[in-house]
Structure 1
Amino acid sequence: MYVDDLIVTGTHAGIDSFKREMASRFRMSDLGVLSYYLGQSMYASKLLEWSGMAECKPCVTSMEERLKLTKASTSVKVDATLYHSIIDSLRYLVHMRPDIAFTVGYVSRFMEDPREDH
């Protein structure tokens, strides 16, 4: 059997024990502490480019404080397919960036009828 990469999480003692057990059964190498997961930086950069936001400035919070969005809007509709794709991509990114989970959940509420400005 060939396994390309394996991510192991747990306590230090548990991880060390697991690695010793695996090394006793299989030929393996230890790449050390995980520093880059699923291409998170590259994925986020590509998502920003694809959604037309590559030139946006970074901010401390992922959403304006006390922002109230509503489904009752007279704004122009946006491309629903593109909106769904962006939201799905953001949902994937939440696994690596839990700090954006609230914001992604909030904007997900508008997937039925996305508008330019709620």
Structure 2
Amino acid sequence: MLDQSAYASKLLERSGMAECKPYVTPMEEWLKLTKASTAAKVDATLYRSIVGGLRYLVHTRPDIVFVVGYVSRVMEDPREDHWAAVKRLLRYVKGIVDQGIVFPKTYASRLQLTVFSDADMAGDIDGRRSTSGGKAAPKRLPAVVL
């Protein structure tokens, strides 16, 4: 099993969310963040530090890849509504802090890795770009089968 439970706990402490109530979803449904937000500014250094920590956490938590990428778009000028989305994600992390990626012992000849992705077509309010649930592999690489 690969997990980052100690790192996730430290990230929650650093953000002041160690004692928060956990959520079962990482993001509000239909959340749309924009760089043109008129909400109050927040501490950009803290925002970048926490989002950077979440970017490291996705190595063992692929279920938060989409949200971390989404909140990363506004790192140059974070606002209260952006910080609220990060706090929601941290509450989700609080609920999954002890989870990770499990590679079960198998006696089969081959272990097959199956990956799913979701997309939001032209969902970016600022640039009308599409959003993917994960980073695509280069096209020259074959599908991963172990």
Counterparts of 1:64 and 1:73, CA distance in 2: 17
Aligned residues: 82
Residue 66 of structure 1 aligns with an amino acid whose one-letter code is W
Counterparts of 1:61 and 1:101, CA distance in 2: 13
Bigger CA radius of gyration: 1
Find the counterpart in structure 1 of residue 34 from structure 2: 70
1:2-81 superposed matches below 5 A: 35-37=1-3, 40-81=4-45
Q: Given that residues 2 and 60 in structure 2 are in contact (C-alpha distance below 8 angstroms), is that contact kept between their aligned partners in structure 1?
A: no
Identity %: 78
Shift of residue 36 of structure 1?
Answer: 4.7
Question: 106, 109, 114: which one pairs with 2:70?
Answer: 106
Find the counterpart in structure 2 of residue 87 from structure 1: 51
Length-normalised TM-score, structure 1: 0.64
Counterparts of 2:70 and 2:2, CA distance in 1: 27
Find the counterpart in structure 2 of residue 29 from structure 1: none
Residue 37 of structure 2 aligns with an amino acid whose one-letter code is S
- Structure with greater strand share of residues: 2
Counterparts of 1:46 and 1:89, CA distance in 2: 10
Moved over 6 A (4+): none
Counterparts of 1:65 and 1:117, CA distance in 2: 14
Counterparts of 2:65 and 2:21, CA distance in 1: 20
Residue 52 of structure 2 aligns with an amino acid whose one-letter code is D
Length-normalised TM-score, structure 2: 0.53
Shift of residue 117 of structure 1?
Answer: 1.6
Provide the alpha-carbon RMSD of the alignment.
1.3
Relative contact order (C-alpha < 8 Å, sep 6+): which is higher?
Answer: 2
CA offset digits 1:54-95 (Å, max 9, x no partner): 122222211111111111122111111111111111000000
What stretches of structure 2 of length at least 5 have no aligned partner? 83-146
Counterparts of 1:56 and 1:72, CA distance in 2: 29
CA offset digits 1:18-45 (Å, max 9, x no partner): xxxxxxxxxxxxxxxxx354xx111111
Counterparts of 1:36 and 1:112, CA distance in 2: 32
